[in-house]
């Protein structure tokens, strides 16, 4: 058995794996389709964990074998029951020696990678939204991550859904007229607002499909549409609420660094600028920083940490894209 450590970042759209040695040098990487158990089921999820890990071993020019330890950050995993089920799945696929698999939500990889293992807060606004903080004592708290039915305000999906709802209210006369109406009809391929009913209730779609409309909402806001601007501000306020929830739950000895992650949070003007200003106005003691590393680097650091090793300051990825 090679004395290597396996980190996996199993996000909602894809699964990536990385093998590192005890000094944090990357030995191999691999990928597979999504392993979010809520979206693909546990059986498919465990298969894709194995596929990504096998590809990483193949990249390292070695046969698949149990790593010394493995860390799996998996999207959709939040409750103890889900964590235990995913850990059993990973152990069943032989990702690491018995008892040496750790499973957490994939946001843990984003936090560790974005802050290079330092304490602080990661706020994600991509298709969905979530926030995770870890203080200097190692205590962590997640605020958000409830998915598109229960939450995801301020995310790409959340902004897009708010826009479609505004169009429905405008059609009824319950809300103001908005430039969102013709753009929404064109994007979703209908000719009048009433056709949105069948579009959303009879056709298959995913939160990612709907979330692709968010850039249009941002563009219309930048062009001055009052409804679109209100939607962006409401989204930013909701994301700030996640950060405030983490700040209330943890005790930081120093003003925490906050890293913004995800396509919406890092979309530039107007939404990113609005979000950053709203955050600083509401939480003046935080320090906004650019991401220091990727989620896959975070998975590698977490794999070393879960094995009880002091993580290196930086993952050495020469020859590999992580």
220 three-state secondary structure: helix
Give the CB-side neighbour count of residue 289, counting CA atoms within 13 A.
20
For residue 217, the model assigns a pLDDT of 98
Asked if CATH classification 1.10.1740.10 holds for the domain at 5-116+293-306, the reply, yes or no, is no
For residue 1, the model assigns a pLDDT of 57
- pLDDT tens track of the chain, all 322 residues? 579 999 999 987 899 999 999 999 999 999 999 999 988 999 999 999 999 999 999 999 999 999 999 999 999 899 999 999 999 999 999 999 889 999 999 999 999 999 999 999 999 999 999 999 999 999 999 999 998 999 999 999 999 999 999 999 999 999 999 999 999 999 999 999 999 999 999 999 989 899 999 999 999 999 999 999 999 999 999 999 999 999 999 999 999 999 999 999 999 999 999 999 999 999 999 999 999 999 999 999 999 999 999 888 889 999 898 8
Cβ 124 vs Cβ 131: under 8 Å: yes
Task: Provide CATH 3.30.420.40 ranges for the chain.
Answer: 5-116+293-306, 147-289
DSSP assignment, residue 255?
P
For residue 38, the model assigns a pLDDT of 86
For residue 13, the model assigns a pLDDT of 82
Structure tokens at 285: 């003691």
Structure tokens at 318: 């020469």
Structure tokens at 170: 């405008």
Of 100, 96, 112, 3, residue with least CA distance to 50: 96
Of 284, 231, 237, 294, residue with least CA distance to 262: 294
What phi and psi values does residue 30 have, to the nearest 5 degrees? -155, 165
Of 239, 240, 220, residue with least CA distance to 230: 220
Into which CATH architecture does domain 147-289 fall?
2-Layer Sandwich (3.30)
Buried b (16+ CB within 10 A) or exposed e, 149-176: eebbbbbbbbbbbbbbebbbebeeeeee
For residue 50, the model assigns a pLDDT of 97
Encode 24-87 in three state secondary structure: CEEEEEEEECCCCHHHHCHHHHHHHHHHHHHHHHHHCCCCCCCECEEEEEECCCCCHHHHHHHH
Of 241, 239, 243, 293, residue with least CA distance to 271: 239
């Amino acid at each position: 058995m090679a004395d290597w450590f396996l980190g996996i970042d199993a996000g909602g759209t894809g699964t990536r794996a990385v093998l590192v040695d005890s000094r944090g040098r990357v030995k191999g990487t691999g990928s597979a389709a999504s392993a979010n158990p809520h979206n693909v089921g546990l059986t498919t999820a465990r298969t894709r964990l194995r596929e990504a890990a096998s590809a990483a071993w193949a990249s390292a020019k070695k046969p698949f074998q149990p790593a010394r330890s493995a860390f799996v950050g998996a999207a959709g995993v939040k409750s103890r029951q889900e964590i235990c089920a995913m850990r059993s799945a990973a152990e069943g696929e032989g990702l690491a020696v018995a008892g040496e698999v750790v499973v957490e939500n994939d946001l843990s990889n984003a936090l560790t990678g974005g802050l290079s293992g330092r304490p602080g807060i990661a706020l994600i606004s991509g298709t969905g939204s979530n926030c995770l903080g870890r203080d200097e004592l190692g205590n962590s708290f997640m605020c958000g991550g409830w998915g598109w039915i229960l939450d995801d305000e301020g995310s790409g999906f959340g902004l897009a859904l708010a826009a479609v709802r505004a169009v429905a209210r405008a059609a009824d006369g319950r809300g103001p007229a908005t430039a969102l109406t013709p753009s929404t009809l064109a994007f979703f391929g209908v000719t009048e607002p009433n056709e949105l009913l069948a579009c959303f209730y009879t056709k298959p779609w995913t939160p990612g499909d709907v979330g692709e409309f968010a850039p249009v909402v941002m563009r219309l806001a930048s062009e001055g549409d009052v409804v679109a601007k209100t939607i962006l501000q409401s989204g930013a306020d909701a994301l700030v609420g996640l950060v405030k929830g983490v700040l209330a739950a943890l005790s930081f000895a120093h003003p925490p660094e906050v890293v913004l992650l995800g396509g919406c949070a890092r979309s530039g003007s107007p939404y990113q600028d609005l979000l950053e200003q709203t955050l600083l106005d509401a939480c003046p003691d935080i320090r906004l920083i650019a991401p220091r590393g990727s989620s896959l680097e975070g998975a590698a650091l977490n794999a070393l940490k879960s094995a009880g090793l002091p993580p290196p300051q930086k993952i050495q990825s020469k020859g590999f894209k992580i």
